[in-house]
């Protein structure tokens, strides 16, 4: 019989026993046998992407040195208190724990690491959560004299917290020691265990250790100021009447020297990660790459899993940090303002790492079913989590299955090791694997079609992914294209391109979403191929378009004006009627929802009139590779705007960059698409429309796409 997870306990067993709630329920699978994987390793997990979002209202307020002053006063009042450094703790091997060789399945090819001792592996009294390491920062490594050290945060009864310092310099002989986290009491006369927390995440920066305790509060500790206990054989805590220090059996105690609390609304998730309060930081790490090094935090959004998989808007925030001192950058009043913020589609996130603009996250797999939704409540079992990666604006890819219940991540750039800790009782491991390799940018992306040259022939426009250059391929009027002309630079910052005459001047314009501002912009067409002057100045016509995944231009209501169809991250299909003139935010009218369930589609375009009825139609590819045609009715009428769909092809999951128009000037809608293996350029094919919805035999029209 499969072991029931600790997280199945009820609140009646005490606050400390109920702490994990929904966040770890996200990894409990169906009874009997695990659910079959729906998304293979190495493939796209969701076509929704990580998008930039506003940092408005995001802030952390420091205590402006209050805890540091209190601790300093307490230490002055107790000169006999043993004060040591992290290096001292690591050098003290008496009674240290010993790691074991990997003893549980990892589900991760080539993973290396260790298991805790049998007692720490099986205890239900302490649950590991956060993970950080000396390899994240040169300053941290210097603090431990070049040793390779991991620090893991755990929570225990009543939301108590501890940190574990593990020396992994010799992978065959891992040693570690638990250190209790403490704070001074209100009067400042004694130290007490930190309670009511969850130790959600931990970050090591120089001599500073940041612990996300309640989800809205980050506690700060000084790794150069650890207290050595006088008595380690009893359960008492604090200084006794004789001036002896007790740490509830721990040899060392780490006192809190600072706090940061969220300046936004909400009180955090406390020691119970399933409650809906915000913010609820569930993961954190250090990223020193880029122009502004940052402490990165992520929130879990545990409800956006199972049927809502890939539909979250979970915050990921970069907080500016000084890489030398390890201190968060604050203003004169002690407030830290978020440097950047993103919305992630991944629900249940438990680990976050960033490097050079790329995200790696750990969390529940696409196929998971929460324990409460499983049909056989007598046989609840755990099953693997998943590791994901993406850049902003890209579909999120599933890297690999992981051990059960993956928690925080720690990336070490110098050794290219991505470390991970897991929490499931009796299956706990600490492993590392190389940083997931990003597919090299290849080929043309964001293809769209319109007559940009004024010769009544449909042209192609697209972005060269490796360079960000925008290219125009003039149409020959027979489905083929002439020599390309560069018409822009820096277009890697733009996404979701589509084209039509949105200004009513008879010239094709280009619409695109700015990935940094999430604004929707129209680039005015000049009607001539004139190199870098082919497009005129851009005008913003919308905001908040990061919530949209696919865009395509068409005249959906048959009024002779270009409209816009868009799929949002929840899978709703929206129509935005065009005004027929450039009017800023009024260039598009009020949107109308015309469909649901479109998150199952991976490509969307309008070929124009595919069935020869004089009305614009839609074409889409679903995840199974089926190509579907949705006939337009010529009226904007909610769910009746499109007629019943017809499957017009299979095997289209091998194709990308689907784009539609009348490319051969016969009055019938056609398609162009690129066939290419992942990570390679491919061949461009022309699919002529027949006028009866079906497509004719394809013709190769280009290579190197």
Look at the block and give the residue holding tokens 């680039």. 523
What percentage of residues in the chain have a pLDDT greater than 70?
Answer: 93
Distance, CA of 348 to CA of 361 (rounded, Å) = 10
Residue the block writes with tokens 């402006």: 64
In this predicted model, which residue has the larger pLDDT, 57 or 87? Answer: 87
**Does the structure show a pLDDT above 50 at 33?**
no
**CA distance linking residue 646 with residue 626, whole number of Å:** 10
> Collapsing DSSP states into helix, strand and coil, what is residue 526?
coil
Q: Check pLDDT > 90 for residue 398.
A: yes
Tokens coding 198: 């969850």
**Average pLDDT rounded to a whole number, residues 679-703:** 95
- Looking at the DSSP bridge assignments, the partners of residue 314 are 344
Cite the beta strand spans of 156-303 per DSSP E.
161-167, 175-184, 191-193, 201-205, 208-212, 217-222, 226-228, 237-239, 245-247, 252-262, 281-287, 294-299
Pairing state of beta strands 208-212 and 494-500?
A: unpaired
Q: Residue 275: what pLDDT?
A: 52
Q: Are 271 and 15 in contact (CB under 8 A)?
A: yes
Tokens 């002690």, residue located: 334
Report the pLDDT averaged over residues 103-119.
Answer: 97
Q: What is the number of other CB atoms lying within 10 angstroms of the CB of residue 422?
A: 27
Pairing of strands 252-262, 175-184: parallel
User: Chain-centre distance of CA 512, in angstroms?
Assistant: 23
| Residue 272 pLDDT > 80 | no
pLDDT 10s digits, 493-549: 999 999 999 999 999 999 999 988 999 999 999 999 999 999 999 999 999 998 898
Q: pLDDT-derived band of residue 276, with 50, 70 and 90 as boundaries?
A: low
Across-strand partners of 59? 337
Sequence-separated (6 or more) residues with CB below 8 Å from residue 79? none
Residue 200 confidence class, pLDDT cut points 50, 70, 90: very high
Reduce the DSSP state of residue 62 to 3 states and report it. strand
Query: DSSP string of 468-496?
Result: --EEEE-B-SSS-B---EEEES-GGGEEE
Question: Which candidate, 243, 343, 357, places its Cα nearest to that of 289?
Answer: 357
pLDDT (average), residues 25-45: 57
Cα-based distances in Å from 60 to 70, 265, 284, 494 = 21, 12, 14, 31
> pLDDT at position 411, please?
98
Mean pLDDT over 221-232 rounds to 95
Residue from 57, 89, 83, 55 nearest 71 by CA: 83
Q: Find where tokens 């915050």 sit.
A: 315
SS3 content of the chain, % helix, strand, coil (to 5): 10, 40, 50
Using pLDDT thresholds of 50, 70 and 90, give the confidence band for residue 439. confident
Mean pLDDT is lowest, of 39-43, 250-254, 361-365, 564-568, for 39-43
Say which residue the tokens 């949705």 belong to: 630
Averaged pLDDT, 338-346: 95
Phi-psi sector, 273: left (phi>0), alpha (psi -120 to 50), beta: alpha
pLDDT, one tens digit per residue, over 307-334 is: 788 888 899 999 999 999 999 999 999 9
Torsion of CA 434, 438, 439, 445, to 10 degrees: 170
Q: What pLDDT shows up at residue 332? A: 97
pLDDT in tens, 136-169: 999 999 999 999 999 999 999 999 999 999 999 9
What average pLDDT does range 552-566 have in this prediction? 97
* Burial class of residue 694, CB neighbours in 10 A (0-12, 13-18, 19+): middle
Q: Is the pLDDT of residue 299 over 80?
A: yes
pLDDT of 219 reads 98
Which residues, other chains included, contact 178 with Cβ-Cβ below 8 Å and sequence gap of 6+? 97, 154, 162, 163, 164, 250
Q: What is the band of 4 on the pLDDT scale with cuts at 50, 70, 90? A: very low
Order of strands, edge to edge, in the sheet holding 494-500? 494-500, 509-514, 520-525, 535-542
Ramachandran angles phi, psi of 533, nearest 5°:
-105, 10
Confidence of residue 18 (pLDDT cuts 50, 70, 90): very low
Stretch 88-107: mean pLDDT, rounded?
95
Rounded Cα distance, 522 and 498, in Å? 10
Helix (H, G, I), strand (E, B) or coil at 127: strand
Distance CA(667)–CA(663), nearest Å, equals: 9
Q: Using an 8 Å Cβ cutoff, are 169 and 147 in contact? A: yes
The pLDDT of residue 307 is 78
In order of 92, 210, 673, the CA distances from 85 in angstroms are 11, 16, 61
CB 137 within 8 A of CB 326: yes
pTM of the predicted model as reported, rounded to 2 decimal places: 0.85
Distance CA 445, CA 464 (A): 6
Q: Does residue 279 have a cis peptide bond before it, meaning omega lies within 30 degrees of 0?
A: yes
Alpha helix segments (H runs only) across 503-548: none
* CA separation for the pair 660, 498 (Å, rounded): 10
Over 70: is that where the pLDDT of 467 sits? yes
* Residue with tokens 């501002």, as numbered in its chain: 517
> What's the rounded mean pLDDT across residues 605-630?
96
**Tokens for 476?**
């020959």
pLDDT of residue 32: 32
Under DSSP, the state recorded for 119 is H
Report the alpha-carbon angle 207-212-215, nearest 5.
Answer: 165
Banded pLDDT at 271 (limits 50, 70, 90): low
Determine the average pLDDT of the residues in 649-671.
Answer: 96
DSSP per position, 301-314: -TTSSGGGTT---E
Q: What percent of the chain has pLDDT over 90?
A: 80
**What is the overall mean pLDDT for the chain?**
91
Q: How confident is the model at residue 301 (pLDDT cuts 50, 70, 90)?
A: confident
Token pair 């196929």 in the structure block, residue? 367
Question: How far is it, in rounded angstroms, from Cα 321 to Cα 364?
Answer: 30
Instruction: Of 265-274, 422-431, 691-700, give the lowest mean pLDDT range.
Output: 265-274
Question: What gap in Å lies between CA 631 and CA 375, rounded to an integer?
Answer: 40
Quick one: pLDDT band at residue 369, thresholds 50, 70, 90? confident
Reported as a single tens digit per residue, the pLDDT across 237-269 is 999 999 999 999 999 999 999 999 998 766 677
List, as own/partner pairs, every contact residues 241-247 make where C-beta atoms lie below 8 angstroms and the sequence separation is at least 24, other chains included.
Answer: 243/78, 243/80, 245/81, 245/82, 247/180, 247/182
């Amino acid at each position: 019989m499969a072991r029931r997870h600790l997280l199945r306990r009820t609140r009646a067993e005490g606050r400390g026993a109920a702490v994990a709630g929904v966040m770890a329920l996200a990894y409990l699978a169906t009874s009997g046998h695990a659910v079959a994987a729906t998304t293979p390793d190495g493939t796209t997990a969701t076509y929704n992407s990580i998008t930039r979002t506003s940092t408005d209202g995001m802030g952390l307020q420091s205590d402006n040195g209050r805890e540091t002053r209190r601790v300093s006063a307490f230490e002055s009042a107790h000169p006999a208190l043993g004060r040591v450094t992290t290096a001292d703790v690591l050098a003290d091997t008496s009674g240290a724990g010993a790691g074991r060789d990997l003893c549980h399945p990892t589900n991760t090819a080539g993973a290396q690491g260790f298991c805790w001792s049998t007692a720490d592996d099986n205890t239900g009294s302490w649950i590991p959560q956060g993970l950080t390491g000396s390899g994240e920062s040169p300053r941290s490594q210097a603090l431990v004299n070049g040793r390779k050290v991991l620090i893991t945060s755990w929570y225990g009864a009543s939301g108590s917290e501890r940190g574990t310092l593990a020396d992994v310099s010799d992978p065959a002989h891992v040693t570690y020691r638990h250190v209790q986290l403490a704070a001074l009491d209100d009067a400042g006369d004694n130290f007490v265990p930190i309670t009511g927390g969850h130790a959600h995440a931990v970050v090591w920066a120089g001599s500073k250790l940041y612990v996300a305790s309640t989800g809205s509060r980050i506690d700060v500790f000084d790794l150069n100021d650890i207290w050595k206990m006088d008595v380690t054989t009893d359960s008492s805590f604090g200084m006794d009447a004789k001036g002896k220090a007790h740490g509830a059996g721990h040899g060392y105690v780490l006192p809190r020297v600072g706090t940061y609390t969220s300046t936004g609304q909400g009180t955090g998730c406390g020691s119970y990660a399933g409650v809906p309060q915000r913010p609820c930081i569930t993961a954190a790490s250090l990223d020193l790459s880029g122009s502004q090094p940052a402490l990165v935090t992520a929130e879990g959004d545990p409800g956006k899993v199972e049927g809502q998989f890939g539909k979250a808007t979970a915050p990921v925030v970069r907080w500016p940090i000084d890489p030398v001192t390890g201190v968060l950058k604050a203003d004169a009043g002690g407030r830290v303002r978020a440097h950047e913020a993103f919305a992630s589609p991944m629900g249940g996130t438990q680990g976050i790492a960033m490097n050079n603009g790329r995200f790696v996250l750990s969390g529940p797999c696409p196929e998971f079913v929460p324990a409460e939704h499983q049909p056989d409540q007598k046989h609840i079992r755990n099953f693997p989590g998943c590791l994901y990666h993406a850049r902003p604006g890209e579909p999120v890819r599933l890297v690999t299955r992981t051990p059960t219940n993956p928690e925080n991540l720690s990336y070490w750039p110098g050794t290219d090791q991505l470390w991970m800790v897991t929490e499931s009782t009796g299956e706990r491991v600490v492993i590392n694997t190389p940083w997931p390799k990003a597919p090299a940018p290849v080929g043309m992306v964001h293809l769209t079609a319109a007559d940009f040259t004024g010769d009544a022939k449909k042209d192609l426009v697209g972005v060269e992914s490796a360079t960000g250059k925008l290219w125009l391929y003039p149409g020959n009027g027979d489905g083929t294209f002439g020599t390309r002309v560069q018409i822009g630079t820096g277009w890697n910052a733009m996404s979701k391109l589509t084209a039509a005459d949105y200004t009513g001047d008879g010239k094709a314009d280009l619409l695109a979403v700015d990935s940094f501002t999430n604004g929707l912009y129209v680039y005015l067409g000049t009607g001539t191929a004139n190199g870098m002057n082919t497009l005129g100045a851009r005008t913003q016509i919308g905001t908040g378009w990061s919530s949209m995944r696919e865009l395509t231009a068409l005249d959906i209501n048959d009024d002779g004006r270009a409209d816009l169809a868009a799929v949002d991250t929840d899978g709703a299909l929206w129509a935005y009627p065009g005004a027929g003139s450039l009017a800023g935010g009024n260039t598009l009218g009020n949107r109308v929802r015309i469909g649901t369930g479109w998150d199952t589609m991976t490509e969307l375009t309008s070929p124009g009139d595919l069935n020869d009825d004089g009305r614009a139609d839609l074409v889409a590819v679903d995840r199974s590779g089926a190509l579907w045609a949705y006939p337009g009715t010529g009226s904007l009428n909610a769910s009746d705007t499109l007629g019943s769909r017809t499957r017009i092809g299979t095997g289209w999951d091998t194709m990308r960059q689907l784009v539609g128009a009348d490319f051969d000037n016969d009055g019938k809608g056609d398609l162009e698409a690129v066939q290419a293996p992942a990570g390679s350029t491919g061949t461009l094919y022309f699919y002529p429309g027949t006028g009866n919805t079906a497509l004719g035999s394809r013709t190769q029209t280009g290579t190197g796409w």
